[in-house]
Amino acid sequence: MSLMTSWLESANAPGCEFPLNNLPYGVFDAGDGARMGVAIGDCVLDVAAVDHGLDAALFAAPSWNAVMAAGPDAWAALRGRLLELLGDAAHRGAVEPHLLPLADVALKMPFAVSEFTDFYASKHHATNVGTMFRGAENALPPNWLSIPIGYNGRATSVVVSGTEVRRPWGQLKGPDEALPRFAPCARFDLELELGAIVGVPSEGMVSVAQADEMIFGYVLLNDWSARDIQAWEYQPLGPFQAKATATTISPWIVTAAALEPFRVSTPERERELLPYLSEPKPMLYDISLSVGLAPDGCDEEIIARTNYSEMYYSAAQQLCHHTSSGCAMRSGDLLGSGTISGAAKDARGSLLEMSWGGKEPLSIAGQERRFLEDGDTLTLYGAAEGNGYRIGFGACAGKVLPALPKPDWA
């Protein structure tokens, strides 16, 4: 597929993240209340103000949940109508008054998160972490090649890009300490992920093919992680408070329809999967990803580059497995891919891996980084590159604030 041209010239510019091919969905506020919008070029379209062709009630609240729950037919109808309105110059007079410059609006949470589940589905990441803590011979857990591993996180901790993130307090215990102590996290980290958003709710188990059709779209996702809190708490039930501080998502939902031309297959299986996890077609996407880090007062440096195609399990497989116990899914459920890492050192999606547990610090703007320091701004980027166009996600950014003072009662 090539660039689809719009009468809005900024959407046709080389390198534009939001061409007509994309049309990602978000929520914006121009100073007079939050509204549902579509990014196009350097503008955002107030969707409710144009002849979108759907029931107006779907756009009554500043959230995409109602549209998601309306299902694939409604999604296709809306996308088709927006392509017409923004692609055919005959509609320019009616549509242009409802375009606002992106530079003049604040971007909000694009949807209400019902529940959040995070997975552990990149083989390079799992191997790196396992090697650090268990040795190369026991790097992957025995079940890893058979099952998408995940944990249930906190929907209340999911925030939109630009939200500052406070360094957490927690219970820590070093290897040479006899007893735990309560202190601020000293090994605060990022996790470069892609989040899949469930649009269609379900009851009972769904197949991989059905799961793929349930996914409304994708966002960049940074699952901030307190590694020292995690090290003490994770046995026997896994991550808990180490993952509850914040999870940042990008402000634009890139639809599955926009990503369709970029499908790629999951890797060859090292162990045959059970039949219920088999994939009827390619289920991953060729999406280039990168991580930028800017120490306080310094320019940003890109510290990692990788690709979503590195995943071992697709979002559809993760969603299928999630329902295998009969677990119902709801519109607005968010599934994190798990940290996305490639084979090379500069393709690792967390500082835990990049610094190899803190033993190999990075040099950034003349400073050493093993883990995140107060004042650091962390930004994730992602885009699928087509023939003369790109499907961008917008930035997924957050600045680390110092821990709050210790409460008197603690």
Q: In Å, how far from its chain's centre is CA 66?
A: 21
Amino acid at 246: A
- Residue 226's pLDDT band (cuts 50, 70, 90): very high
The predicted model gives 336-356 an average pLDDT of: 97
pLDDT one-digit tens code per residue, 321-338? 999 999 999 999 999 999
* Residue 267: how many other CB atoms lie within 10 Å: 13
What percentage of the chain carries pLDDT values higher than 90? 97
Catalytic residue among 52, 125, 321, 322: 125
Q: In Å, how far from its chain's centre is CA 133?
A: 26
pLDDT one-digit tens code per residue, 250-262? 999 999 999 999 9
Q: Topology of 9-108 in CATH? A: SH3 type barrels. (2.30.30)
The predicted model gives 296-321 an average pLDDT of: 98
Say if CB 233 and CB 273 are below 8 A apart.
no
Distance CA 358, CA 308 (A): 25
Distance CA 231, CA 216 (A): 35
Distance CA 74, CA 96 (A): 24
- pLDDT at residue number 41: 98
Q: Which helix (H) or strand (E) holds 188?
A: strand 188-189
Q: Topology of 116-401 in CATH? A: Fumarylacetoacetate hydrolase; domain 2 (3.90.850)
Say if CB 352 and CB 339 are below 8 A apart.
no
Checking if the pLDDT of 237 tops 90, the result is no
The predicted model gives 45-58 an average pLDDT of: 97
Residue 125 among the catalytic residues? yes
Higher pLDDT residue, 235 or 46?
46
184: Cβ contacts below 8 Å, ≥ 6 apart: 167, 168, 169, 170, 402, 403
Q: Do the two domains 9-108 and 116-401 of this chain adopt the same fold?
A: no
The predicted model gives 160-179 an average pLDDT of: 96
The predicted model gives 226-247 an average pLDDT of: 93
Checking if the pLDDT of 133 tops 90, the result is no
- pLDDT at residue number 235: 86
Checking if the pLDDT of 318 tops 90, the result is yes
Domain ranges (residues) in the chain: 9-108, 116-401
**Alpha-carbon torsion 194, 255, 112, 18, what sign?**
positive
